[in-house]
């Protein structure tokens, strides 16, 4: 699947059906963001809109856009910004958050093995489909993929740290979290957990602590626009190398979404008390990977069903890739 960049060339002519498809892709991104450990950026990458998404966000930080905004030329702003694309994707993300959050959270609590198996199949198939965007794999590209995979594997296994609650660190946390959210394989919520700010931000939402949320939002805006500049530049200058590293991040993230895990540590506050999420559940800080239980019939059945669910996710991506390639 190939995406179309927009800042340097003519925008694709889209029909209402095309925008409906973008909204569906946004729904997939939102659904992925709801599940801790899965990135909406991964889904954007899988579904072929990643580069256009980055390029469209990048426009907001360009000098021409900023000058036009300062002059309050709103009509020209809409001509510069790929707003129809961004609106369709954002609408899908919001739809997913408000309609799928409860169901996905229920699956995460009650059927985690099958939910993780589905996402495992999605990402595994995506590694294959996305790798086809690189026409020729050189040793340097393979090395870049390996480096990305190792980096993501180590990152998703880190234990959360205790960090300050000052305004500057909240801005920094928002920037890092949003950057992770648009990177395939790395969850923004997981980065907040690593930085020791997941529960703090969650409490701010529940307590309507708008000052804290404003600092986080400022960081997110700065991080999103500035990181999009970097990613957009990398795609234009070093496209194949960038894709190779992002594929590596997806491979390394498979550690986080491996279906069989054992919780070994839980998040604690500075006083040593366990931190609970909005449902009163403990927040896992560290997990060890394990193998399926083949000693019992129930364990074998769970493994078989998990493989079937993973194959469904894998087949879904292969089918979407085939459909997309027919249109190219």
Reported as a single tens digit per residue, the pLDDT across 196-234 is: 787 678 778 767 888 998 999 999 889 888 888 888 899
Q: At a CB cut-off of 8 Å and minimum separation 6, what does 64 contact?
A: 80
Sign of CA dihedral 234, 240, 246, 248: negative
According to DSSP, residue 282 is labeled B
Phi, psi of 319 (to 5 degrees): -65, -45
Query: Which residues form the domain of 77?
Result: 16-322
For residue 78, tell me if it sits in a domain. Answer: yes
Q: 310: buried, middle or exposed (CB in 10 Å: 19+, 13-18, 0-12)?
A: buried
For 227-270, how does the pLDDT look when each residue is reduced to its tens digit (9 = 90+)?
A: 888 888 998 899 899 989 989 988 988 888 899 988 887 777 66
For residue 123, tell me if it sits in a domain. Answer: yes
* pLDDT-above-90 percentage for the chain: 20
What is the rounded distance in angstroms from the CA atom of residue 6 to the CA atom of residue 81?
A: 9
What is the rounded distance in angstroms from the CA atom of residue 102 to the CA atom of residue 242?
A: 35
* CA angle at 28 for the pair 318 and 59, rounded to the nearest 5°: 105
Question: Which position has the higher pLDDT, 92 or 6?
Answer: 92
For residue 34, tell me if it sits in a domain. Answer: yes
What is the rounded distance in angstroms from the CA atom of residue 155 to the CA atom of residue 101?
A: 25
pLDDT for residue 42 is more than 70: yes
For residue 244, tell me if it sits in a domain. Answer: yes
Domain total for the chain?
Answer: 1
For residue 268, tell me if it sits in a domain. Answer: yes
Q: Pairing between strand 261-266 and 284-289? A: antiparallel
For residue 275, tell me if it sits in a domain. Answer: yes
Spell out a b/e string for 10-25, using b for 16 or more CB atoms within 10 Å of the CB, else e.
Answer: eeeeeeeeebebbbbb
For residue 327, tell me if it sits in a domain. Answer: no
For residue 159, tell me if it sits in a domain. Answer: yes
Question: What local confidence, expressed as pLDDT, does residue 6 receive?
Answer: 44
What is the rounded distance in angstroms from the CA atom of residue 310 to the CA atom of residue 124?
A: 9
| Region 29-57 average pLDDT | 80
Site of tokens 């990152």: 155
Nearest to 156 by CA among 15, 287, 18, 313: 287
What is the rounded distance in angstroms from the CA atom of residue 12 to the CA atom of residue 15?
A: 10
């Amino acid at each position: 699947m190939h995406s179309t960049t927009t800042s340097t060339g003519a925008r694709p002519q889209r029909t209402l059906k095309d925008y409906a498809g973008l909204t569906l892709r946004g729904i997939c991104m939102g659904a992925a963001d709801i599940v801790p450990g899965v990135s909406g950026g991964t889904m954007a990458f899988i579904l072929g809109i990643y580069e256009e998404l980055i390029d469209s966000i990048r426009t907001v930080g360009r000098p021409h856009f900023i000058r036009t905004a300062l002059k309050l030329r709103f009509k020209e702003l809409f001509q510069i910004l790929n707003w129809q694309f961004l609106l369709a994707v954002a609408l899908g993300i919001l739809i997913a958050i408000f309609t799928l959050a409860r169901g996905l959270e229920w699956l995460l609590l009650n059927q985690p093995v099958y939910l993780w198996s589905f996402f495992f199949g999605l990402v595994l198939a995506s590694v294959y489909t996305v790798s086809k965007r690189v026409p020729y794999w050189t040793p340097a590209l393979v090395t870049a993929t390996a480096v990305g995979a190792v980096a993501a594997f180590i990152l998703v296994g880190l234990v959360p740290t205790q960090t300050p609650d000052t305004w500057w660190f909240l801005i920094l946390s928002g920037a890092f979290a949003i950057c992770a959210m648009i990177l395939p394989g790395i969850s923004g919520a997981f980065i907040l957990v690593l930085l020791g700010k997941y529960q703090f931000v969650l409490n701010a939402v529940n307590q309507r602590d708008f000052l804290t949320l404003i600092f986080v939002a400022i960081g997110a805006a700065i991080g999103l626009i500035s990181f999009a500049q970097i990613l957009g530049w990398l795609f234009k200058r070093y496209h194949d190398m960038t894709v190779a590293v992002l594929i590596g991040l997806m491979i390394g993230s498979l550690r986080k979404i491996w279906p069989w895990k054992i919780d070994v540590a839980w998040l604690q506050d500075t006083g040593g008390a366990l931190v609970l999420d909005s449902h009163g559940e403990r927040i896992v800080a560290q997990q060890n990977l394990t193998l399926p239980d083949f000693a019992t019939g129930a364990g074998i059945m769970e493994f078989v069903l998990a493989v079937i669910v993973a194959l469904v996710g894998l087949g879904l991506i292969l089918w979407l890739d085939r459909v997309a390639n027919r249109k190219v």
